[in-house]
Amino acid sequence: MIHNKTIARTLLIIATASLVGCGEEKADKPTNIEEKMENILLQEWTGSFGGVPAFDLMKVEDIKPAIGKGMEMKLSDIDAITNNEEAPTFENVIEELERSGAELERAFNYYGIFSANMSSPEFRDIQAELAPKISEFSSKITQNEKLFVRIKAVYDASQISPLEAYKQRVVDLTYKSFEMNGAELSPEKKERYAAISKELASLYTKFSNNVLHDEENYITYLTEEQLGGLTEGFIKSAAKIAADNGKEGMYAITNSRSSMDPFLTYSTERELRKKVWTNYYSRGDNGDEYDNNALIAEILRLRRERVELLGYSNYAEWRLQDRMAKTPENAIGLMQAVWPAAIARVLEEVEYMQVVADNNGDEITIEAWDYRFYSEKVRKEKYDLDMDEVKQYLQLDKLTEAMHSVAGRLFDFTFTPITDGSIPVFQEDVNVWEVTNKVTGENVGLWYLDPYARQGKRSGAWATTYRSYSDFDGKKNVLASNNSNFVKPAPGEALLVSWDDATTFFHEFGHALHFFSANVKYPTLNSGVRDYTEFQSQLLERWLATDYVINNYLVHNKTGEPMPAELVTKIKKASTFNQGFSTTEYLASAIMDMRLHMADPANIDIDKFERETLTALNMPKELPMRHRTPHFGHVFSGEGYATAYYGYMWADVLTSDATEAFAEAPNGFYDKDLADKAVKYLFAPRNAIDPAEAYRMFRGRDAKIEALMRDRGFPVTNEE
């Protein structure tokens, strides 16, 4: 699903790459080295593989002093740049900026783990206290006028005498971040800009914690008589979760997608389906102290005010200028081109489901909590395909092996598990692999996998890096992580996942491969263009359904037999099944994101706006948005995906088009020449090349939306 830079990396970007300019507050670098080194979160990483985080030694009580000291040291690094009396050059400004704040970056990595993977009430109190302080710290950089003057001098000189391409890219990206964030505002406007950013930081933290509260506290407990339709493995997992929560003899349905989705798909208890559905889609919208609607309204008002200071009419206009889409109109144009076909397909799907329900004598009208349940019945009827049967061949450990094997064939990577305990982890279920280039024999980095849902872990699936590749100041190998929320199986049971979850698992691994493939000199070039970085991960999803993976890794969890050819054929025939549901629930959220940020936020009623917007779109009543506004963490727990959720579809146009290139290659999806070309142009450059140009270098032309329509089984009306 998402490529989430962890909060650690996001905060670091706020403090470095999102630079603006003014103000001259100074902080002295500590003279006592021991004062710096006594906090484990600031210390240089030691051990093999270029050093690794001391996850086994991190403590919540170390977070606040580490972040405080790290910010002080970062500001001291900035002072050294601004107070340099030599004329500004790429070396003494840009390169020094690239290497500044190493201690803080290390501390933010631990902060990100506590926030995303290991949250607790104690940490959340610290997080709430630190959020405005981090924002203030960021402003001390983003409003440092002397820093901006020196960067602008380097930029202006490069417009006359261009630098080497990769250096020029770093200068352009750095200068653009200053320009976008108001480097030339008046002192009064800069002060207001900083105040808004500080207030937003606190609101984002509160939003996230409110959602996490509702995920942790709305658990549905079942008795044995209420288990109808549920699979044996799911029942065992639900029993263990209930027991862990002090409900021995009962069965727990947690308020997470990994628990909700299979329950809604298979449970025969309609009223319970409604309850579980309501709990999940009401997160952040329960009219209590954890309700997010007022927070969202305030976030939207502050975002609008902030960009108006910069001369933009709305947040979307400001945000998209450095994305592939460039303008909100272009992004909306793509979504509107797909929307009619998507909702038309939903109507067809609902009509067929209603027929099935009527034929069963169920005497119901299809509602949102029925969609998954009856969709499975339709799948069985139309394609004789039982997804629970498919699930018996989708074992997480085998899928992991499959991903590693695909990475070996396409990227020349070898993954070797590290089982001797030599690499510290932050939780016992986290496993680590060494990643090696099998051609050169060199270490590429380490891959961490945190697969299971647990108390204090944010929902969803994501990928992140603890250290990105660069060969600036010595080559740095990659420390990358994939994180999921699979329900942990009962002891001795295989972890079986759905086809959709297996696809997501491949997706997030695609982000990891993007990290491992990086070949850039400067850290800034590892930054991602949001509507492009989902492309590489979406592309890797396509290898799940290749014959090589199916025949070698999708084996039955009891018998070990490969998936039968007949079942494979059914899966491929049903590849576009339920595309109405999946496309519409996603697009509704993406369109809502854009519309909210283009609307006048004064006196906005979030629930009313959501209802009216969906009505205007003719949103089918039988399904919800994938992420309803009150728990839309992509957009309101930070700014990474704000007005950028459309990016998944923008990237999917590239994905569908590139998939056709592999399908047409002499050796299909495992054509090494095409794979090498993909690595060279689509994975290795990261942000060192303009994404549109990089894609043209791979494909020889721009991507075409017709490929996306074909991919989803929608009518193609503009075929050349």
pLDDT tens column, 692-707: 999 999 999 999 999 9
Q: Which domains does the chain have, with CATH numbers?
A: 7-184 (1.10.1370.40), 218-281 (no CATH)
Residue with tokens 């009891």: 558
Contact 62, 55 (CB under 8 A): no
pLDDT reading at 543 higher than 50: yes
Calculate mean pLDDT across residues 360-384: 96
Burial category of 585 from C-beta neighbours within 10 Å (exposed 0-12, middle 13-18, buried 19 and up):
buried
Contact 295, 206 (CB under 8 A): yes
pLDDT reading at 22 higher than 70: no
Q: Six-digit token pair at 260?
A: 């909700």
Cα 25 versus chain centre, distance? 35
Calculate mean pLDDT across residues 560-565: 95
Between 17 and 552, where is the model more confident? 552
Q: Six-digit token pair at 490?
A: 């009962």
Please report, for residues 72, 117, 197, the alpha-carbon distance to residue 13 in angstroms, rounded to integers and kept in the order given: 16, 20, 14
Predicted local confidence at residue 395, as pLDDT: 98
Per-residue model confidence as pLDDT tens digits over 599-629 = 999 999 999 999 999 999 999 999 999 999 9
Calculate mean pLDDT across residues 300-322: 96
pLDDT reading at 582 higher than 50: yes
Contact 272, 373 (CB under 8 A): no
Per-residue model confidence as pLDDT tens digits over 627-661 = 999 999 999 999 989 999 999 999 999 999 999 99
Calculate mean pLDDT across residues 193-221: 95
pLDDT reading at 5 higher than 50: no
Burial 423-446 (b: 16+ CB within 10 A, else e): bbbbeeebbbbbbbeeeeeeebbb
Residues whose CB is less than 8 angstroms from the CB of residue 342 and which lie 6 or more positions away in sequence, other chains included: 579, 580, 583, 584, 587, 714
Burial category of 371 from C-beta neighbours within 10 Å (exposed 0-12, middle 13-18, buried 19 and up):
buried
Contact 102, 43 (CB under 8 A): no
Q: How far does the chain reach from its first CA to its final CA, in angstroms?
A: 32
Contact 264, 377 (CB under 8 A): no
Residues whose CB is less than 8 angstroms from the CB of residue 75 and which lie 6 or more positions away in sequence, other chains included: 25, 26, 27, 137, 140, 141
What rounded mean pLDDT belongs to the chain? 92
Predicted local confidence at residue 139, as pLDDT: 85
List 450's β-bridge partners, or say none.
483
SS3 434: strand
Q: How far apart are CA 29 and CA 31, in angstroms?
A: 6
Please report, for residues 288, 601, 629, the alpha-carbon distance to residue 300 in angstroms, rounded to integers and kept in the order given: 21, 6, 12
Predicted local confidence at residue 8, as pLDDT: 37
Predicted local confidence at residue 217, as pLDDT: 94
Per-residue model confidence as pLDDT tens digits over 375-420 = 999 999 999 999 999 999 999 999 999 999 999 999 999 999 999 9
Dihedral sign for Cα 45, 51, 55, 56, please: negative
For residue 7, name the pLDDT band (cuts at 50, 70, 90): very low
The single-letter code of the amino acid at 391 is K
Predicted local confidence at residue 459, as pLDDT: 85
Calculate mean pLDDT across residues 227-238: 94
Burial category of 491 from C-beta neighbours within 10 Å (exposed 0-12, middle 13-18, buried 19 and up):
exposed
The secondary structure of residue 575, as a DSSP letter, is T
Q: What is the DSSP string of 257-291?
A: HHHHHHHHHH---HHHHHHHHHHHHTTT-SSSTT-
For residue 10, name the pLDDT band (cuts at 50, 70, 90): very low
Burial category of 419 from C-beta neighbours within 10 Å (exposed 0-12, middle 13-18, buried 19 and up):
exposed
The secondary structure of residue 656, as a DSSP letter, is H
Q: How far apart are CA 207 and CA 633, in angstroms?
A: 8
Dihedral sign for Cα 102, 107, 109, 112, please: negative
Q: What H or E segment, with its residue span, contains residue 233?
A: helix 232-244
Q: How far apart are CA 127 and CA 524, in angstroms?
A: 26
The single-letter code of the amino acid at 672 is K
Nearest to 296 by CA among 200, 217, 195, 216: 200
Q: How far apart are CA 15 and CA 180, in angstroms?
A: 15
Per-residue model confidence as pLDDT tens digits over 290-299 = 999 999 999 9
Calculate mean pLDDT across residues 527-539: 92
Q: What is the DSSP string of 669-688?
A: GG-HHHHHHHIIIIITTTTS
Residue with tokens 């990928």: 463
For residue 168, name the pLDDT band (cuts at 50, 70, 90): very high
Per-residue model confidence as pLDDT tens digits over 98-146 = 999 999 999 999 999 999 999 999 999 999 999 999 989 988 888 899 9
Contact 273, 370 (CB under 8 A): yes
List 481's β-bridge partners, or say none.
448, 464
Predicted local confidence at residue 717, as pLDDT: 73
pLDDT reading at 26 higher than 50: no
Predicted local confidence at residue 640, as pLDDT: 86
Q: How far apart are CA 217 and CA 233, in angstroms?
A: 24
Nearest to 344 by CA among 520, 180, 580: 580
Q: What H or E segment, with its residue span, contains residue 548?
A: helix 547-553
pLDDT reading at 718 higher than 80: no
Q: How far apart are CA 303 and CA 181, in angstroms?
A: 12
Predicted local confidence at residue 37, as pLDDT: 53
To the nearest whole percent, how much of the chain has pLDDT over 90?
88
Dihedral sign for Cα 558, 561, 563, 564, please: negative
Calculate mean pLDDT across residues 320-338: 95
Predicted local confidence at residue 12, as pLDDT: 39
Predicted local confidence at residue 182, as pLDDT: 83
Lowest mean pLDDT among 532-536, 555-559, 716-720: 716-720
Calculate mean pLDDT across residues 301-308: 98
Interior CA angle at 274 toward 268 and 279, to 5°? 130
Calculate mean pLDDT across residues 5-17: 36
Residue with tokens 């329950």: 263
Nearest to 669 by CA among 539, 577, 568: 539
Lowest mean pLDDT among 184-188, 580-584, 610-614: 184-188
